[in-house]
Amino acid sequence: MKKTALLLIIVCASISGALRAQNQTDLSEILNQISADSVYATVQDLQNFGSRLAVQNENNPDGNRDVADYIIQRLERYGVTTELDSFAVGNTVAYGLWIDQWFYNVKGVLPADNPIDDSIVLVGAHMDAIAFNSNNYYVTAQVPGADDNASGVAVMLELARICHANKIQFSRNIHFMAYDAEEFGLWGSEADAYKRSKAGDKIALMMNNDMVSNPPDGDWRLLLRWYDNAVDVLMRASSICEQYTDLLPVTLPDSENMLRATRSDSYSYYEYGFRATYASEYTYPSTYHTAYDVTDSCNYAYLAEVARYNMAMLATYAGSVSWIIPEEPPTVTTTHVYPNPTCGKVTVQFLLEQNSPVGISVLDLSGRTLLHYDNGIQSAGIYHSELDLSVLSAGLYLCQIRTDKGVETLKVLRR
């Protein structure tokens, strides 16, 4: 009797091990399917509307109704159930305009296959745009909004495309949201968050992407703005970025963060007590809120990386957890490099889980080793190793901590 039980346990253990290995490969294969051409095509489609100014005007008598219809068509093509979620705003003045009209959110639902609960992971982005001329008057005819925020909508649609193509089974419900009238004060997301709060929706996480395609040349930083009710999500997001993408996750100190974190749709959800994240490029481009925010100025390799980050977040928060559990616990955990960016000296912090030889290397992006420090055999514990990068020219580098079980890679930006 005992023997049989033991045998069964061994068999179960090896099956779950095999499944894990299989699923893990699947996630990186799925991330590889995310395509820069595909996200570019969406940004171009949205730019082709000419203007996505949310208020009705002579060029857009129905506001963004046509843009909403386009997003609905795209989502339906990927098997997502959609709804045009209209809301009205009246008796309001914004940018000197008298507002009394309907606005159009798009809501898409991809139900869970194996629900672990009735909660929702929501991926959202605003679809409206705004542009001002040199006299600071808003313009109506040419409002391309490629980076702000066709890029965020492109991420959302790319996730829907990839989920459909791979028939991914989620354990939480996925909601895709495109918001109208963000530029007038987060009106679309406010309307949705209010409604969900009233309805008692359980949102496990709201993921907002706003301006994710136009960093300066060679800047792979992704700014992760955060909310004090979701600091654990920030930590997770940052390590997912490191693990699955070429992006360099960056966060801001409390005071500066909160100021910036109020400026996009995730803030509406935070205000109603929901947990949210908010990704954007680190530096606002000079084309921000002008007629020059066009597809030609964007970086689609960067945008595709942001989509990969989002997909890995979806896998983590809505997929089967086994997707991202490593086969063996890593020897090195809790890694951190600071200050980052640096002007020269950095400290690499890591927790060595078991005794092991440790070597730390600094590589360029082509994988060439530029600096190497051999620390010899170290006993388990927390380490702070100082490196001097002042001999390197400005740019992005990889810092690798090597043990006898594998390699942990961190990114570091030398100013």
Integer-rounded Cα radius of gyration of the chain: 23
Asked if 180 is part of the footprint of Zn ion (rule: CB under 5 A), the reply reads no
**Contacting range for Zn ion; rule: CB under 5 A; set: 205-213, 312-320, 326-334, 389-397:** 205-213
Asked if 210 is part of the footprint of Zn ion (rule: CB under 5 A), the reply reads yes
Asked if 290 is part of the footprint of Zn ion (rule: CB under 5 A), the reply reads no
End-to-end CA distance of the chain: 66
CA dihedral 372, 376, 380, 384 (to 10 degrees): -40
Sign of the CA dihedral with 137 first, then 102, 200, and 235 last = negative
Q: Nearest distance from residue 243's CB to Zn ion, in Å?
A: 27
- Residue 217 has φ and ψ, to the nearest 5°, of -50, 130
Q: How far is Cα 391 from Cα 345, in angstroms, rounded to an integer? A: 10
**Contacting range for Zn ion; rule: CB under 5 A; set: 61-69, 141-149, 278-286, 326-334:** 141-149
3-class state of residue 202 by DSSP:
coil
Q: Nearest distance from residue 263's CB to Zn ion, in Å?
A: 8
Within 10 angstroms of residue 377's Cβ, the number of other Cβ atoms is 9
**Contacting range for Zn ion; rule: CB under 5 A; set: 204-212, 253-261, 286-294, 355-363:** 204-212
Q: How far is Cα 373 from Cα 359, in angstroms, rounded to an integer? A: 6
Site string for Zn ion, 97-136 (x = CB under 5 A): ----------------------------------------
**Contacting range for Zn ion; rule: CB under 5 A; set: 38-46, 116-124, 149-157, 194-202:** 149-157
3-class state of residue 111 by DSSP:
coil
Q: Nearest distance from residue 211's CB to Zn ion, in Å?
A: 6
List 148, 192, 293, 305, residue binding Zn ion (CB under 5 A): 148
Q: Which is nearer to Zn ion, 194 or 288 (CB)?
A: 288
Query: What DSSP character marks residue 295?
Result: G
**Contacting range for Zn ion; rule: CB under 5 A; set: 99-107, 146-154, 274-282, 283-291:** 146-154
Q: What type of residue is 179?
A: Y
Q: Which is nearer to Zn ion, 158 or 210 (CB)?
A: 210
| Residue whose token pair is 């194996």 | 114
Q: Which is nearer to Zn ion, 85 or 148 (CB)?
A: 148
Q: Nearest distance from residue 26's CB to Zn ion, in Å?
A: 33
**Contacting range for Zn ion; rule: CB under 5 A; set: 27-35, 207-215, 219-227, 355-363:** 207-215
Q: Which is nearer to Zn ion, 42 or 149 (CB)?
A: 149
**149: exposed, middle or buried (Cβ count in 10 Å: 0-12, 13-18, 19+):** buried
Site string for Zn ion, 255-284 (x = CB under 5 A): ------------------------------
Q: How far is Cα 289 from Cα 287, in angstroms, rounded to an integer? A: 6
- What size, in residues, is the chain? 415
Count of positions on this chain that bind Zn ion (CB under 5 A): 3
Q: How far is Cα 39 from Cα 300, in angstroms, rounded to an integer? A: 7
Q: Nearest distance from residue 312's CB to Zn ion, in Å?
A: 23
**37: exposed, middle or buried (Cβ count in 10 Å: 0-12, 13-18, 19+):** exposed
List 149, 151, 245, 287, residue binding Zn ion (CB under 5 A): 149
Q: Nearest distance from residue 262's CB to Zn ion, in Å?
A: 13
Q: Which residues bind Zn ion (CB under 5 A)?
A: 148-149, 210
